[in-house]
A and B are shown apart, each in its own frame.
Chain A
């Protein structure tokens, strides 16, 4: 094994990161075993059950390992189930967004860097323009567009004439979470910028020139030589982004702007038992603590991996 790889694998912080991520993956894969979903449930991410009406959360016990939250008259939501299935949806979401935005960003950065000249400055100016976009504004905007396009029947407005949901090509997008589209559209810029600056540096190296002289097509140069040699910072960025995006998704669910994060949505249900009337962090800590801890550990583990991969791949950089 190479020395750098060994250092990476034997370092305490990267072991912690890898173990945590391993646990998250295991929980995500084993979710149907750890907490079987009700086959009749509308959304498998939540387990809603009926119990005697009491206007307070059910404390942890044999039936509900982490307790349950009241969500309606005689209806309760199992926290343990949300925790387990939330892991699944968080990992899916994080990996998917990062895979899409990294691919797009790297392609944009590498191609425009290879083209150079006015194409490159134009594309980079466009990238900078997207950097000025507060993500929350983009999320809100895309969601509204989605409602108009795919679910006009949910709009409630007396002065709105009836119109049909779109069909055809656009309709393919209706199954995709609008938050995913918004985040991909608003996070690719970092990948494009780092890849672009690296590509512009190594483009002048003689091995690239040799490849070109041997008759390699621009696509071959980009995909065989430029991207593999400039991908390191993008990998580091991607690892950190997975954690960051999942935290952001949970945040949006918490303030009610998205429904795609079971973690955030469950915390939002539990919010009034922490800061609402009669609520208290010390009395109902179990409503809040397990999922918060999962969210924090998720962020930490991907950050640890990012930092250590960075040290591994650029050993001389602090």
Chain B
């Protein structure tokens, strides 16, 4: 087996392990609660009209029996996992729908913000870090350091509030929500076909560029809000790697041979600096998702966070919160996996299976 494939497979196999650990931990917490409460996880989506207190108690007891709620931890866990794998994630009374379809339907919303944020901040962060690192202590570097410091110091929600006030309340350039009123009607009309769920792409595929434009207009603020913080972090890490790299002897040797600055910057050292940058991005993905959820909540994008955040109310909605948690972990693992593969493509040591 080629080493690249082996690397990819080993990383892919880490996903089920992660999920197993996470679901076990979650379920251990769930088991702390009394069985009567846990039975609500399996409540039907509709109750008949004649539901009395007595019949409800019977239903609750029946569910407790049917779902083996007196058995030891691992047995209960196995039954619960089986339901999860079958796609039976329970019914959410707050959202008034099944949890798994609710999550799947909202995924493109989150994916759209995430995708454009990554596309914006990863290249910009690496570029800024490389330029600043090669010009250490010059004016470019100082400017970068100040900008990065300020942008990572402003909390997401304060930035979001300021941006929204300036660009929506005062200027009315970039309104909140995912689409404007007209385009939203167009998207919900008969002739609209959903290919990817991302309105920016679907607009083009449906031959309705105005939808794409409108979707981009609404994405500007969320994407900037998410990107600014992560841009700064990524830039700083790249800068530190570049500075370390420039002190190495092969740079001196290349300089002695008359290799130009530009060739050194982008030809000789660039790939070496990509690895730590991507590792860092992969590691911070969980925080990135957290950032996406906050931005969704503030800019009123009805994405995945809606499932989790609306679940926190006085109506007990354990299925939606459990579903949100497991689904988030799945998404984070997949994004981490994608970045790991990208890293292996850039780093020949990983690709060829050389241990570091």
Contacts and interface: CB of A to CB of B under 8 A. Distances in A.
A285 to B, nearest CB: 10
Interface in B300-345: 305, 308-309, 311-312, 314-318, 321-322, 324-325, 328-329, 332-333, 336
Residue of A132, A160, A254, A267 ringed by the most chain B CB atoms within 10 A: A132
Interface string A252-280: 00111100000000010001001100011
Interface string A226-263: 00000000000000000000010011001111000000
Interface in B38-65: 40, 43, 47, 51, 53, 56-57, 60
B40 A160 contact: yes
B157 A141 contact: no
A313 to B, nearest CB: 16
Indicate the size class of the contact surface on chain A: 35 or more
B166 A296 contact: no
Most buried by A among B14, B18, B60, B290: B290
A135 B324 CA distance: 12
A34 interface: no
Interface stretch (A87-95, A103-111, A143-151, A214-222): A143-151
B321 A155 contact: no
A156 B315 contact: yes
Interface in B224-259: 240, 243-244
Nearest to B47: A159
B164 A133 contact: no
A157 interface: yes
A255 B298 contact: yes
A163 B21 contact: no
B29 A161 contact: no
Given A136-B293, A136-B294, A156-B315, A144 B321 contact: yes
Given A134-B328, A257-B309, A155 B297 contact: no
A140 B321 contact: yes
Contacts, number: 171
Interface stretch (A41-49, A71-79, A123-131, A205-213): A123-131
A133 B244 contact: no
B60 A161 contact: yes
A303 interface: yes
A299 B321 contact: no
Given A166-B34, A292-B158, A299 B153 contact: yes
Given A247-B155, A274-B161, A133 B286 contact: yes
Contacts of A144: 311-312, 316-318, 321
Contact of A156 (B155, B312, B314): B314
Given A134-B329, A299-B155, A129 B18 contact: yes
A152 interface: yes
B311 A140 contact: yes
A100 interface: no
B316 A147 contact: yes
B128 to A, nearest CB: 16
Contacts of B170: 280-282
B21 A295 contact: no
Contact of A133 (B33, B154, B312, B332): B332
Most buried by B among A134, A141, A274: A134
Contacts of B17: 125, 129
A196 to B, nearest CB: 15
B169 A254 contact: no
A62 B18 CA distance: 57
Contact of A318 (B36, B152, B243, B316): B243
Contacts of B14: 125, 128
Interface string A47-63: 00000000000000000
B315 to A, nearest CB: 5
B275 interface: no
A40 interface: no
B158 A132 contact: no
A188 B147 CA distance: 29
A55 B264 CA distance: 63
A266 to B, nearest CB: 13
Interface in B127-172: 149, 152-158, 161-162, 164-166, 168-170
A148 B318 contact: yes
B289 interface: yes
B289 A134 contact: yes
A164 interface: yes
A290 interface: no
Contact of B328 (A137, A155, A166): A137
Interface in B9-27: 14, 17-18, 21-22, 26
Given A140-B308, A295-B158, 10 more contacts: A132-B22, A133-B328, A133-B332, A134-B332, A140-B325, A148-B33, A160-B37, A160-B40, A166-B34, A275-B169
14 contacts: A129-B22, A131-B283, A132-B22, A132-B329, A133-B328, A136-B290, A148-B33, A159-B43, A159-B47, A160-B37, A161-B53, A163-B37, A303-B149, A318-B244
Q: Which 3 residue pairs are nearest across A and B when measured between Cβ atoms? A: A129-B21, A281-B165, A134-B289
